[in-house]
Each structure stands twice: as C-alpha cells, then as structure tokens.
A and B are shown apart, each in its own frame.
Chain A
Amino acid sequence: MNRTQPTWRRLAPLFLAMALVATLPFLLERMRQHRTTQTAPQASSSSAPAPVSIETAPGEVELGREAAAANPPPAAVDPRTFAMLVDELVAIGQRTAALAQQDDHAGATASDQEARALFAILMERFDDAGERALDLGSSLPSAPAEGGVPDDAAAAEAHLGHRLVLHLVLAAECTRRETTAAAGARERKDGLVRAILDVLPVSAATVEIGSRTLIDQPHLRATHEPQVLGLLRLASEGAFPRSVATHLLVTLWNNVQRFGERTSDDLARLALLWLGGDDPSQRTAACRQLLLDPRYRDLVVSWLRERGDRDVAAEIAGIAAQELPPDNALALLRELTPLLPSAPNAYLVLGFRAPEALADAYRALLASDVQPRMRADLVTGVGMTTTALGLEIAQLALQNDPSPDVRLQAVFALTARRDPVLGEAALQQALDDPRIANDPLRLSAVVLALQNLETTGDVNALHRIGQRLQAMALGDASRQTLAGILARGLPTSVAGVGRGETGDPAQGEPAQGSR
C-alpha cells in the first residue's frame, strides 16, 4: 500500500535549516572566545612585562605600566554558586559558634569577620540575592522536628544555620532596595516583598524566614495589603499560623500610618468596622489600633465589656501591658477587672516595664483597701521582679494587706527570690494567719509556694515548714503534693516523720502530679 509522506517528514529539512541558522551566531561567538583565550596569555606576556624597578624622571612615561593598565589580566571568575556561598556561610557560622562555646574570643571574632567578608561578597555578586534566598528557602527540607532531615544535633544545627543565613540575605536585600525605593523607584523593593508574602505559606522554614524579615520592619506597605489579608484567610482555614498573620497585619498598619499611606482616622474607621468581625487577627489589630488612640480607648473597653469575651479581653490586656504607656495600661486593666478579675500575665509584663507604676498603684489601693484582686495582681507584677522595689512591695503586702489572698501572692513573690531565710519567714508568717491556716484551699496555695523554697536546697527550712503543714487541715491532693516535696527535698529518714491528721474529707481533691 503506498502512503504519502507525513507532513513532518517533508518539513524536517526546513526545521533543521532554521535550527542551524538560529545557533550559528552562538557557535561563532564560542569559537571567537576560544581563539581569544588561546592568544590572551601571549598578548599579556608581551604587553605586561615583569615588574622592574625603573628610575624615571618626573613626567616620563612608564610604558610597561601603561600597557598593563590598558590590557588588564582577566578577572578570576568565582565558580561558587549562590547555594554554595550559603553553605559556606553556614559552615563558618558553625565554626564561629564552636569557638564561642569554647570561649575562644579571638578565634570567634576572626571567624565572624570571615563570615562578614563572605556575606559582603555574596551580596555584591548577586543583585537578586533576595529572590535566590527565597527560592532556596522554599526548597529547604523540613526541619528535623517535623520529620524532615535526620533528627540529630548536627542536622538540626545545619538546618537552623541555613534559615539564619537566608533570613540575613533577605533582610540585607530588603534594606539594600530600600535605598532605591526611597528615591522613588519602589517597584523592585515592593516586588521582593510580594515574593516573600507569596512563599510564606510554603513551609515552616519560609514562615520563619519571611516573618522575621517582615514583622516589625518597614517593608510592608499598602500595596501588600491584599496579600496580607489573604494570609489572614489562610489562618482562618488553619493553613497558616494565626499569630504570624496577626503580627503581619499589625506591622502593615503601623507602616501605612508611619509612611503616610493612611491616616490614623482612616485606620480607626477600618478598625471600627473590623471590631465586630469574626476574624481574630482583624479583631486584635483593630483593638490594638483603637487602644493606641486615646479617642477610642473607652470605646474598646465598652465593646469588650459588652462582648463579654474573656479570651479577647485577656489578649487585649496583654497588648496593653506590652505597648501602652504604663499608666494607661494600668487604667485599662482596672477598667477590665469586672470582665477579667485576674490577669497575672499582663501585670507580670507591666511589672518588668514599669515596676514603679505598679508599686504606686498598689500603695494607693492598699491605703483605701479596695480591689483586693487587683492588689494581688499588682503584688505579683512588681513582686516577681528581682528589684529592691519588688522586695519592698512584697514585704509590705505580707505584713499589712488585710486580704489573705493578697498576702498569699506576696508569699509566692518572696519564696521565688531563692533566699531560704526570706522564703521561710514568709511562709511562717502566712501560716500564722488563721484565715490561711484554717482554710484548706489557701493552704494548698502555701504548699505550691513551698515548691519555690524547695529549689533553694535548704533542707532545714523545708523540714520546719513541712512539719507545720503536715499538722494542718490539708486536702488530700495538697497532702500528696507536700509528701512529694518532702520526699525530694529531705533525707529519706526525715521525710516520712510526723505525718499529721488527715485533711477534710469533704474536699475530695484529686491527685496532683509532682513538678
């Protein structure tokens, strides 16, 4: 049977000719380069003579040096790829860490200088270092803890090293492009940030690298808002870390206001809109924005009270403690007391920021004997600092506060100072108070404070307090906890001596695990 030739057979010669024409310039160029390479050493040897000391009169031309300047030797091409340079930086970082851990300061410093020099080379060679870092970061295997690379110390350190270096590259690249962005050409900078936001959800490594680069940094702008909102949606679906999404949104709002892309009134209007929404990140960002504006602070408090959501209130209390001026934060916490009767976390943060403000607030409330729960939190906040002021307030509370629960908080603060004399005195004083000694619930708190005394290693103090507690009306769970403390802290022959009467059977406390 005869067949006509297929179309591809008839057109094949034409395709071959076209391919040859297309590659001919490339081939000719390669041939020219090859000839140049072969003849270059001869040329340079004839035009760049060996250095010779020549005495010449001023103004006389030095032919050898001029010829060398006109025909410089070809620069050595660094064959290392971007990935190789990153690997090398990681290796230097590991060496620096090892030297630092051996307290070889000079060696660690020298190694660190080597890393800085290599980092500068990397940034100079690659003007798209940021994009390359993103590409490499998104292809990193999972961390050892996630079942990726083998779970050993060396692999974990190498993985961490890569994340650190890639973050440094991204941070440096963003800063470098900020210079040109400041001159009005933002596209390259904004484009890099968009690329970072795109790869953020890819893996835990990209979340870490990208979020460190963007959060609390000036790189996010109004143009990135759609992507940030997209990450919020992913967080709502459980596909992206909620805390990272919230911090990115807060950073975005800070930046758009700081750089004049939106006014505070614009953001306040948006915040008011988002306040009643369902997205937790939007709600947190909205609350924070409104809290920072004195005009809307009362509105936030009213909204929180109306909503009655303790979790949101606790989150807002934390934000206030971290970011508001201390007096404003204290006032807000006081306003939230009906909804949030106890907020030790917020007071602990505020205590580290402004212990004097908490001390003044405690003295004022003590003088008027009001708000015992807030007094307890204030004692926690300032008492847990290692300052002399913290010690003063804790002792003042233990000796003078009319509320036994405030005195118990003072006991925690004093026993946590790891001073056995101070700790034992505080515990003894608390047990002298019949409102504490006769209340199994308050005695259970004393047992928990005794765990702080246990860490001082003072066996005698532990024994004295333990004996006294054993003779009191402890609940079953507290008695078990106390037995565990004494068994750990005391010699075996002493721990089991002098068990007191059993506690009130009506309490029925379940067993508590030891610490």
Chain B
Amino acid sequence: MNWRFVPTLLSAAFLLASLVAQDCPREKAESRPASIHNGPPGNCSGIEYDVGGIRVSSKTVACPTFVIFTPPHDVATASNKETYAHVTASLPITMIKFDCEREYLIIIPLGLKCVAGATQNVGFVRLMETRPCPVAQS
C-alpha cells in the first residue's frame, strides 16, 4: 500500500464529515398517537338538590366546555445519526365547543345533552419522515 495517500484520504474523510455535520440537525421523526383533551366542565355538569331531607350533589351530566382532538403526528427528536426530520404534511388540531342544550334543574337529567358547536382548527401538527442529511454541495 502506498502510504503517501493515507493523509489525503484522511483529509478527504474529515472534510466530508465536516460538510455533512455542518448543517445536519441530527434529528429523527418520532410518532405521537392521537389524543383527546377535555376542557373545564361546563353548565350541564351537575346540580345540588334536597330530597327527603338529604342534600345531594349530582354530577350526572359531564359537559366539557370544549374538546380538543390532536391527530396522530410526528415530532422531531434528537438523534445520534446524520439525519433530519423531513416534514411531509400538516394536519389540523381541532376544537369542538359544547353548550348545554337546556338548563333544567331536574332530578333525573335525561335529555340534558351537551350540544356540539362548530368544529374549528386551532393549530396544526406535522407528519414527518426521517431522511439522511444531504452532503453540502460546493
């Protein structure tokens, strides 16, 4: 083997590594499942009443102020490899607001329904895939 080329090869390898490392965020795409979060309870959430000398609190109709749905999506997390998280699409985070259909202080609250309002987009999440970092072009 001609040992004179070893320093050249090493220099080239070092240069190549530095070119890749310079702009590579070293990230990967990590999936997150869908989630549903309820807001604070709203007007339908219960009544207090006296029956036969007993004072009872009833939380029989749980009507959240709103519900937020986040679809399955990806987030960029740290990686020890020369990769990045490439965004492929955007998906909406949706919110549905609820109102109590009727407010009756009745002991058996059948028919007291939470009525959903319009669905609104409140933000967005991303779909991503992990890709190798490209070598920087001169």
Taking Cβ atoms with an 8 Å cutoff, the residues of A that contact B are 89-90, 92-94, 96-98, 100-101, 108, 112, 115-116, 119-120, 123-124, 157, 160-161, 164-165, 167-168, 171-172, 175-176, 212, 216-217, 310, 314, 318, 322, 344-345, 348-349, 352-353, 380, 384, 409, 412-413, 415-416, 418, 441, 444-445, 447-449, 451-452, 455, 475, 477-478, 507-510, 512, 515
Contacts and interface: CB of A to CB of B under 8 A. Distances in A.
B111 A100 contact: yes
B54 interface: yes
B98 to A, nearest CB: 12
A98 B39 CA distance: 29
B54 A172 contact: yes
Nearest to A124: B52
B65 interface: yes
Interface in B107-138: 107-112, 118-124, 126-127
Interface of B: 32, 35, 37, 39-40, 49, 51-52, 54-60, 65-66, 68, 70, 75, 87-93, 95, 102, 104-112, 118-124, 126-127
A305 B69 CA distance: 26
Contacts of B40: 322, 349, 352-353
B54 A380 contact: no
B7 to A, nearest CB: 38
Given A93-B110, A115-B108, A164-B110, A509 B121 contact: no
30 contacts: A93-B106, A96-B104, A96-B108, A96-B110, A112-B106, A115-B106, A119-B51, A123-B51, A168-B107, A172-B52, A175-B54, A175-B55, A212-B59, A310-B32, A310-B75, A348-B66, A348-B68, A384-B122, A416-B95, A416-B120, A416-B122, A444-B89, A444-B124, A445-B90, A455-B118, A477-B90, A509-B88, A510-B88, A510-B89, A510-B127
A164 B60 contact: yes
Contacts of A455: 118-120
Contacts of B105: 112
A345 B70 contact: yes
A-B pairs, top 3 by smallest CB distance, nearest first, are: A97-B111, A93-B108, A120-B52
A438 to B, nearest CB: 16
Contacts of A418: 118
A508 B54 contact: no
Contacts of B120: 384, 416, 452, 455
A108 B52 contact: no
Contacts of B124: 444-445, 448
A512 B57 CA distance: 46
B111 A448 contact: no
Nearest to A119: B51
A509 B93 contact: no
A172 B51 contact: yes
A412 B110 contact: no
A171 B60 CA distance: 11
B122 A164 contact: no
A510 B127 CA distance: 10
A508 B88 contact: yes
Given A172-B51, A212-B59, A384-B122, A345 B108 contact: no
A100 B104 contact: yes
Given A100-B104, A161-B110, A175-B56, A348 B89 contact: no
A123 B112 CA distance: 24
Contacts of A413: 122
A119 B89 contact: no
Contacts of B70: 345
A458 B30 CA distance: 39
A510 B128 CA distance: 11
B19 to A, nearest CB: 21
B41 to A, nearest CB: 10
A449 B123 CA distance: 8
A157 B111 CA distance: 9
B60 A348 contact: no
B46 to A, nearest CB: 10
B56 A452 contact: no
Contact of B119 (A120, A344, A477, A515): A515
Nearest to A173: B54
Contact of A112 (B66, B75, B92, B107): B107
Given A112-B106, A345-B37, A441-B87, A451 B92 contact: yes
Contact of B123 (A96, A164, A212, A380): A380
A98 B38 CA distance: 29
A478 B90 contact: yes
B28 to A, nearest CB: 14
A321 B127 CA distance: 27
A165 B35 CA distance: 32
A120 to B, nearest CB: 3
B68 to A, nearest CB: 5
A89 B39 contact: no
A96 B39 CA distance: 29
B110 A94 contact: yes
A312 to B, nearest CB: 13
